[in-house]
Chains A and B, each alone.
Chain A
């Protein structure tokens, strides 16, 4: 009689069970870290008085003519 298909079910079940535990553990860690991050967020990011007018790029543009006026004085 030709060989029928037979499963190696227990080995597969063992690997699957291991993976379930691993994934649960990883999800648990992710949740814990995300909660910690949420708790730390308000402390670590204080409100800044940043205004769009104080852009550093604009300062650079303003700084360029200042140097040129100095050169002129010299």
Chain B
């Protein structure tokens, strides 16, 4: 199987846009929530995956995005797949939040990052099996939620939507890439195995 060319254009584009937005606009102007969207601020739907609420949120997500993109290309996800998956899952989760949780304020690249992690569990099967890969990728999410539940029920209630949306991003990334993988890569692999 041919390995795709390693190019970091799209992750770099995401980091540059996020940095420009973070240092030039307050997150309150470009983050997304259903109520603001319904008031006519439609641009928020496009900008929210590149917006961060504070510096900690910004640098954590940028570091995670950079390292996850290296991992994605190491495993064999192409840059177009990476970017497509990132945008698709972020906007799909945004749409679900708009319909189900219109009061929730959304900002950050983390949903897209979780979608990439979901896709990595499909593509990375040649290095680590799924029963190890999936819990490993979801460990930070579940540990944070368990920690919140143990600290207090109110904190857990407040972080429950975060947990659901992040998990939604992971599941979307997993499912979308699985379907894409079956249509694009599987037929080629079958032909390669048949023809010596």
Contacts and interface: CB of A to CB of B under 8 A. Distances in A.
A66 interface: no
Contact of B71 (A1, A5, A19, A26): A19
A15 B61 contact: no
B137 interface: yes
Nearest to B158: A3
B36 interface: no
Contacts of A4: 31, 53, 104-108, 162
A9 B127 contact: no
A69 interface: no
B60 A7 contact: yes
A41 interface: no
Interface in A38-74: none
A65 to B, nearest CB: 39
B57 A7 contact: yes
A74 to B, nearest CB: 51
Q: For chain A, give the interface size range.
A: 20 to 34
Interface string B39-62: 000000000000001000101111
A15 B103 contact: no
Question: B interface, by DSSP: helix, strand, loop or mixed?
Answer: helix
A2 B157 CA distance: 11
A6 B43 CA distance: 21
B136 interface: yes
Contacts of B107: 4-5
Contacts of B113: 7, 9, 12
A74 B83 CA distance: 85
B17 interface: no
B161 A3 contact: yes
A29 to B, nearest CB: 12
Contacts of A16: 64, 67-68, 70-71
Interface of A: 1-13, 15-17, 19-20, 22-24, 26
23 contacts: A2-B104, A2-B158, A2-B161, A4-B107, A4-B162, A5-B106, A5-B108, A6-B57, A7-B109, A13-B66, A13-B68, A15-B139, A16-B67, A19-B71, A19-B124, A19-B127, A19-B128, A19-B136, A20-B67, A20-B74, A22-B127, A23-B124, A26-B127
Interface of B: 31, 33, 53, 57, 59-68, 70-71, 74-75, 103-111, 113, 117, 124, 127-128, 136-137, 139-141, 143-144, 158-159, 161-162, 165-166
A-B pairs with lowest CB-CB distance, top 5:
A9-B60, A9-B64, A7-B110, A11-B140, A16-B67
